[in-house]
Homo-oligomer: A and B are copies of this chain.
Amino acid sequence: MSTFGKAFRVTTYGESHCKSVGCIIDGVPPGLALSEADIQVQLTRRRPGQSAITTPRNEKDRVTIQSGCEFGYTLGTPICLTVANQDQRPRDYTETDFYPRPSHADYTYLQKYGVKASSGGGRSSARETVARVAAGAVAEKYLGEAYGVEIVAFVTSVGPIEMPQVARGMGNEDFQALLAGITRAQVDANAVRCPDEAAARQMEDEILTAAVSTTPPEAPSPMFRQAGGRLAHAMMSIPATKGFEVGSGFAGARVRGDAHNDAFEADGKGGLRTRTNHSGGIQGGISNGQNIYFRVAFKPAATISQDQRTATYDGRDGVLAARGRHDPCVVSRAVPIVETMAAVVLMDAVLKGIKPV
């Protein structure tokens, strides 16, 4: 199904070539100041055509609030957000359409549904993430205003290139200091969205090389040539207030601690606080008042700049020719996706909080 969450429920719709993509968000608290501009910021960070290392296809991706707001404030009713698809018509079939694209979902969707969208990935296209980003931007607005939460994701490795702070282990002081002070401005300072400038330059080289590289179909390691970005980190600064009910809702987020125990210390006010942060801010599924951090891996884009030996839908072996323009590395555009999906999950946890007797 296409619904995330229980108390903050996001239901998405849209394929790569239908009229629009978007979502209905149910459970947004009433009285929140919210405009299309609030949402547009993250959509713009996500959209293609931002730099030399992303696909040149330039979609506008302008969001429209269809419902749930009046005079700039939320009503507490479902908010429908839509983003028009610029090229709505499924195009004519070409030779390459007879091949399910390797490592895409063309084949598995056809197996499951018995039908498939004509082109472009249909529902499994990354275009679906437009809806998630829009919904998450609403969650970010609420979390920021109500709790001062900030969420910042960034790229830490692309192919074989890794930020040195991370390579030394996440528990090291350099990395912890980086997490403590990171901002979106710092992340957006370069196209790769890696906050270490030297590493960012290396990553950009890697990506640009991959974009033009063509290797024979039997080459052992298209991944490295393809610059498969592998890791993004995200960090949420959450006020360490006692009783803040982040809840058990962060299931699914892989919190990465470094396995040292998180011991406590007296807080000088008759209580205690967690002294260390080796568990990514969560114990037993519940926030402990430290910053939450986690990492996310992305597999390399399956569309590659080389011919691939494969088979057609109707069982004829052949070679699928390399296609044209695409993202040589997805992780930079994934940064706002990771941030907003984290916001969706955290928002649901916050709204599900315990009511005392």
Contacts and interface: CB of A to CB of B under 8 A. Distances in A.
B100 A264 contact: yes
The size bracket of the interface on A is 35 or more
A311 B118 CA distance: 54
A193 interface: no
A158 interface: no
A29 B354 contact: yes
Contacts of A313: 272
Contacts of A27: 1
Given A117-B75, A272-B311, A31 B351 contact: no
B272 A20 contact: no
Nearest to A270: B315
Given A9-B1, A70-B90, A242 B102 contact: no
A258 B223 contact: yes
B15 A75 contact: yes
A67 B14 contact: yes
A254 B255 CA distance: 13
Given A123-B75, A223-B259, A103 B283 contact: yes
Interface in A231-282: 242-248, 251-252, 254, 257-272, 274-275, 278-279, 282
Contacts of A309: 263
B21 A67 contact: yes
A136 interface: no
Nearest to A73: B115
A20 B111 contact: no
24 contacts: A1-B27, A11-B24, A15-B70, A18-B66, A19-B64, A20-B80, A22-B66, A31-B114, A99-B264, A100-B272, A102-B261, A102-B264, A107-B283, A109-B284, A109-B286, A124-B285, A145-B357, A252-B252, A261-B304, A263-B308, A263-B311, A270-B314, A272-B313, A272-B315
Interface of A: 1-3, 6-7, 9, 11-15, 17-24, 26-27, 29-32, 64-71, 73-80, 82, 90, 99-100, 102-105, 107-109, 111-118, 122-124, 142, 145-146, 221-223, 226, 228, 242-248, 251-252, 254, 257-272, 274-275, 278-279, 282-289, 299-300, 302, 304, 308-317, 351-357
